[in-house]
Amino acid sequence: LLGACGVRVLSSVVAVLNLVVDEIMPQRSQVALALPTGLALIIFLVLRSLRRLAAGQASKFPVDIFVRSAFQAVATVFSQLPEEMKQPLLSSLYFTVPLSVVGTVGGFGWKLFGMANARFNQFFQKHCQVSMTFNNSDKHYDHVVDYIGTRCQVETGRLLVSTKPRSKPSFQEMMAHWLGGKTKAPTLYYQPDLQSFSDSFVWKDDEGLTHKIWISKHVEKPQFRSENTKNQKDPESIVLRMFWTTDPKPLKSFMTSALSTMLKDDCEGRVDIYVKHMWMPMWTKAISKDRRDRDTIVLDENLADDVIEDMRHFFSSKAADWYHNAGIPYRRGYLLYGPPGCGKTSFAQVLAGELGLDVCLMNLSNQDMNDDDLAELLRAAPPRSMLLLEDVDAIFVERTAAAKGGRGGGVSFSGLLNALDGAAAQEGCVIMLTTNHKDRLDEALIRPGRCDMHVHVQKASQDQARRMYCRFFAREAKVKLIDVSGTITMDVIHGFKTGDPVACKGGSVEDPMEANFDIIDENTTYFVRTPGLDVPTSAQKDLLLYDTLAHAEVGGSKGLVLATGGKNTKLQSLPPSAARFGSRIPEKQISMAKLQGYLMKQKLESEQHFKALSHKGQLPPEVAAIDLADEEQRFRYNEAVVNFASEAAVMNVHELLDVKIEAEEERVSIYDYLHRLGLHRFAPIFEHFGVREKKQITTELKDRMEQWDPDLKTGSQRDRMVALIDNNETIKGQLQFADLSVLRDRFLATYQHMQDLPTNGASTLAAPPPSSMSRSTSEPSPSEQRKAPTRKQIVRQSSGVDAPENQLNMLDMAHQFQEALECNGKSQVSLWQLDLHFQRFAGDPHGALQHCHALRKIDKDRSTQEQSFEWMTTFGFLSRIGLEEYAFNLEDNKFKMWVEWKHLSKDELKDKAEMPEKVAAFCHSVLQASKDRADLVRKFQLPLFADLQSFFQSRFPEAPAQDAQRFAVRLTDDAGSTHVSCLQVECYLKEAKSPAEALANLAQGLLPVAVAEAARKRPEAPPPPKECEEWVHLWLKKEGLEHQSGPFMGQALLKRDEVLGAPLDHTILTGMGINKIGERCKILKMIAAEKGTTEAPCDKDDKRKDC
C-alpha cells in the first residue's frame, strides 16, 4: 500500500512540474538558476550530517537539523522564484510533499519486508518443506496429472472435462477421424483444474501410510510459434510440496507409483497391434484393443496353461540369464496348427494379453516387402513383443511359394528362415506361427530353434462345447463384497436358487478368491444357498456357498465356505442343460467358430421371437405381465428369454450338425458292424474264430463261415453277409449312418400323412421285451421344469410358421426321435436299421418313438450271455424242420451239437437217428443246403419281417393289416430277427383257428429254443422184447454171440441137430451175414465141440430122455 501511494505521489509531482514549466517559460533563466541552487543546498546538508554521524559527533542521524536545513534551503530557493510562480507552487506543495514523504518511507519499508521474507522463505524451504517440479516437456507429464485426477483425492471443486484422451491415437485412428463417418457419443475424460495457487490431495503409499501433498500449476506466458512449432503446448509445470518434512522419499515414491500405475494400466488392459509401415520397413501402431480375458477363449484343459507357463518362464530373468550363459539365442518359437475356425489367432491374442505383450503382425504376401525389409522389421520389433505370422501354409508349401511365380510376395523362403533364426535375428521376443496344414510346411521352418513348441488346436470337444454353452446361457454375477460371516454380495441380481451348482471364474492375480486360506480352483463346484426365503429369488444379491448340495439345502455352519478376497471374481452357474448340449456335440468334429455362431444365432432368434410375440400379444401370461421399466421384472424377462434360448439350442442342435459326418471305421467292433445290417447274432461266432473288428473281414470268410452256423449256409441272412464281405455297393449305401437331419426328415416323411394321433402317446403295437438302454433327450430335468419353456413353444419358434396343433405334435415327435438316436452328436443308426424300424412301426409314430432307443445298442451294452458263443444244438436244428422227436436218437449217439453230425450221409442219418427213408432224405437236404431242393431248405430258413406279415395274411386274409404287423413285431426283436423258422410259423398259424388266437398264444405256441429244449421230455422206452428161447440162441449166448442168432434162425437152423447137421464152413457163414472172421472161427469151434460131447443140453420142445 505504501509503495503504491509513493508511486502515485511521484506521478503527481511530475504533473505539477510540467504545469509549472509551461507557466514560467518566460522566466526560464531564473528557474534554471533557482533549482540547481536548492538541490545543491539539500545535497550539502545531507552530506554534512552523514559526515558528522560518521565522525562520532552525533550519536544518531540529526533528523531535526536536517529537516531544519532542508526547510531553509527550500525557503531560499522559493524566495528566488518570481512572485507569479510562488502561489501555484505553494498550493501544490501542501498536498504533494506529505504524500511523497509517506510513499518514500513506505517503499523503503516494503523493500525491507521483501528482503526479510526472502530470508524466511529460504529458511522455510530448507528446513520445513520439500518440493518437486515436473514440466510438461516430459512425455509422461500427462500420466502424472491423470494419476492425480483419477487415483488421488484432490480437494478442489474445479474440474476440467475433455473428449480427447491424453494418450496419443494411432495413425489409423487419426485417419478415421479425418475421413469422418458416423461416430458414437464421445467418451468424457475428467481432471482437476489445477491453479497457480496450491490445492491439496491425499495419497496412500504401498505401506498404507497417508500423505497430504500440495500441488500448484505454473504456466508461462504464451509463446510466439513458428510454422513447425504451432501445435506445441505452452510451457507449464506442476509443483508438488509436502510441509513440515525435508525427506524427499514420499514424493519420489509418489512419482514412481504414479508412472508405474498409469503405464501399467495402459499396458495391462490393452494390447497394441503393430503392422508394417506402408512405405518404410518400420512398425506402426495399427490399433489398440482391449485385452481378451483368458476365459473368453474355450480351449482344451491344460492347453492354455501349458503354453502360458512356458512363455512366462521364457520371459523370466532367470531364463534370460540361462540362455545367455548357455550361448543359445534368446528367442522362442511357437507353432499353432489345426483346422480353421478353432481359435488359433484368438489364442495368440489371449497369450499376448495375459503376458502384456505387443503383437507385431507380419504379412509375408506383401509384394512390396523383400528379404531385407523382413529382417529389418524383425530386428526393430519392440521388446516383449509377439511376432505373429498367420497362415504360413498359404505362403509357402514346403520350400515353394504358394503364389504364382515361385515367390511368396517379395519374401523368399531362405529370407524367412534367416530372418527368424539368422545371425542378425531379433532376440528377446517370441515368434508365433499359425497354420491349418502342418504337413505342408517344410521341416526346416518348424524345427526346434524356430518353432520350439508345437500346439495342436483341435476342433471342439464335448467339454469345450459345454463350457461354450455356459458362456452364452449360464447365469453370471461379479462378487462385490464378502463379509466375515461368509455372505457374498454380488454387484447385480444374481438369480441363483438354493442348490444351484456354481463355479468361480476369472479373478485377479493380486486378490484371488480364497476359501479356508486356499485359492479356489475354477474346476471346483460349490452350491448356492440364498439367505432370505421370503425375498423373491430375482431380488436377491446376497448368497452363501457350501461344499455339498446337502449342506446347502440344510444351511447352517456345516460345509459353509468362508471365502475371502475375490476381486473381479465371477460366480457362474452350471446348468444341467449344458451337459446335455455337450453330449450331443460330436467329439472333435465341429469348429469353435461354428459352435459360437450357432449359439449366437439361437440367442438372437429367441430375442426376436419374444419381440414378435410381444407385438402380436401372444406372450405367455407370466411373461406378458412383466413391467420392463422395473429392474427386478426386467431381470425375470431376460431370464425367460435366456431359458428359452438355452433349451432351443439343445433341441435344435441338428442345425449345427446338418452335415454328413463320416464315422471312424478303423476300430469298429464286429458286433457294431454287423448290427447295422441286423446280423449281430453272428458276432459271438465271428469273435470265437478271431474276427473281432471290421478290418479283419476278408473274402475267405465266405467259405469258412458255412461251417460255423447253418444260417450262414443259406437264407437271406447269408445273402446279406456275403454282400457285406464282398463290399457290395447296395449294401455300402445301407451301411451308412443316417445323418441327424435324415432321422428327423424320414420320421416326418413316414408319418406326416397321418391326421389323427393317439392322444395318450401310447404305441398301438405290443411292446417288445424291455431294453436296458437309456434314452437321450432334450427334455429339461425336473429341476428345470419350472422355468423351462415348453417343447411346443420351441418347435413353433424353430419352424417359423404357425402350424396346426397336429403338425406341431408330429414335428415335436420327430425332434424327440432324432434326439433319442443321437449319440455324442452323431447317429449310430444305419439306413438299413432305420428303414426296418419304420417298417416294424408303420402307422404307429408313438411306437417308433418309444422303442427307437434299442437301435442305439452297441458292443459295450451286450450282456454276458449275449457275448458268449454256443453252437446250434441238435434239438435246435431239428425243431426248425419239425423233426425234434429224433433229437434224442442223435444225442444218444453223442451228437449233441449240429456241428458234430453235419457231415453224416443220408444213410447214416437214417441209422443214427432211426429216421424213415423219406425223413432222412428231407433232413439231409436241409443239412447240406441243397440247391436242388430249395423248397425244403426254405422251410428251415428264418423269415424276414415282411415274410411274417405275408404268412399271417395268407392264413387269415380277412384280418386287418394291423394284426399282421402286430404278429410280426411280437415275433421279431428290435433288429427284425426272429428265432423260429418258416415251417414253424406256418405250422403254428395252421393250428390257430382265428387271428385273435394266433396273437394270444404266441408265447406258448412258439417258444424260444432254449425254453423248448429245457421243457422237452424223453419218450418212455418200450418194454424190453421177450428173449428168444430157441436152442441156437441159448447156445450162442453162452459165448456172447447171441446177436448172431438171427442169421441161424433166418436159415431155419433152430435145433441142435439142425445146426450140427448143416455143412457149415467159413463161406457159408459169410453168406449168412457173419462177416467177422473171429466170430466165424468161434462158431465153428463151438460146433466141433458140440459134436464131440456125449450129452447135449435138453431142448425145451423136444424132451427126449436119451439127451
The helix (run of H) or strand (run of E) holding residue 154 is: strand 153-154
Confidence (pLDDT) at 1047 = 86
CA distances 155 to 17, 203, 217, 848, 1044, Å, are: 55, 12, 15, 78, 137
Spatial separation of the C-alpha atoms in residues 811 and 494, rounded to whole Å:
36
Any idea which residue has 485426477 for its cell?
149
- In which order are the strands placed within the sheet that holds 514-515? 518-519, 514-515, 563-564
Spatial separation of the C-alpha atoms in residues 2 and 103, rounded to whole Å:
5
Spatial separation of the C-alpha atoms in residues 803 and 1035, rounded to whole Å:
100
Which contacts of 617-626 are long-range, i.e. CB under 8 A and separated by 24 or more positions? 620/793
Confidence (pLDDT) at 145 = 77
- C-alpha Rg value of the chain to the nearest Å: 56
Spatial separation of the C-alpha atoms in residues 30 and 83, rounded to whole Å:
12
- Backbone torsion region of residue 298, taken as left when φ is above 0, otherwise alpha when ψ lies between -120 and 50, otherwise beta: beta
Spatial separation of the C-alpha atoms in residues 926 and 903, rounded to whole Å:
12
* Close Cβ partners of 854 (under 8 Å, ≥ 6 residues apart): 768, 771, 773, 974
**Which of 496, 656, 654, 649 has its CA nearest to residue 578?**
649
**Beta-ladder partners of 489:** 481, 542
Contact 486, 560 (CB under 8 A): yes
The amino acid sitting at 322 is W
Confidence (pLDDT) at 334 = 92
Contact 381, 429 (CB under 8 A): yes
Angle, vertex CA 793, rays to CA 787 and CA 798, nearest 5? 125
Q: What are 1089's three cell numbers?
A: 465141440
Any idea which residue has 461344499 for its cell?
547
* Close Cβ partners of 1034 (under 8 Å, ≥ 6 residues apart): 1097
Spatial separation of the C-alpha atoms in residues 924 and 886, rounded to whole Å:
13
Confidence (pLDDT) at 4 = 47
Residue 472: what are its φ and ψ, rounded to 5°?
A: -90, -40
Confidence (pLDDT) at 424 = 64
**Helices 805-820 and 791-799 meet at what angle, rounded to 10?**
100
Q: What are 845's three cell numbers?
A: 409314430
Is the entire prediction scored with pTM above 0.85? no
Q: What are 75's three cell numbers?
A: 525557503
The amino acid sitting at 247 is D
Confidence (pLDDT) at 1096 = 39
Helix (H/G/I), strand (E/B), else coil: 274: strand
Confidence (pLDDT) at 779 = 45
Spatial separation of the C-alpha atoms in residues 63 and 41, rounded to whole Å:
16
**Beta-ladder partners of 396:** 401
Query: Which residue ranges in the chain fall short of pLDDT 50?
Result: 1-4, 6-7, 25, 27-33, 403-408, 659-664, 759, 766-786, 1094-1107
- What is the sign, positive or negative, of the torsion defined by CA atoms of 397, 403, 405, 409? negative
* Close Cβ partners of 227 (under 8 Å, ≥ 6 residues apart): none
DSSP state of 837: H
Spatial separation of the C-alpha atoms in residues 351 and 536, rounded to whole Å:
42
pLDDT digits (tens, 9 = 90+) for 370-416: 888 888 888 888 878 888 888 888 776 556 655 444 444 578 888 88
Confidence (pLDDT) at 193 = 67
* Close Cβ partners of 404 (under 8 Å, ≥ 6 residues apart): none
Helix (H/G/I), strand (E/B), else coil: 334: strand
Residue 300: what are its φ and ψ, rounded to 5°?
A: -60, 155
DSSP state of 695: G
Residue 275: what are its φ and ψ, rounded to 5°?
A: -130, 170
DSSP state of 461: P
Any idea which residue has 390257430 for its cell?
992
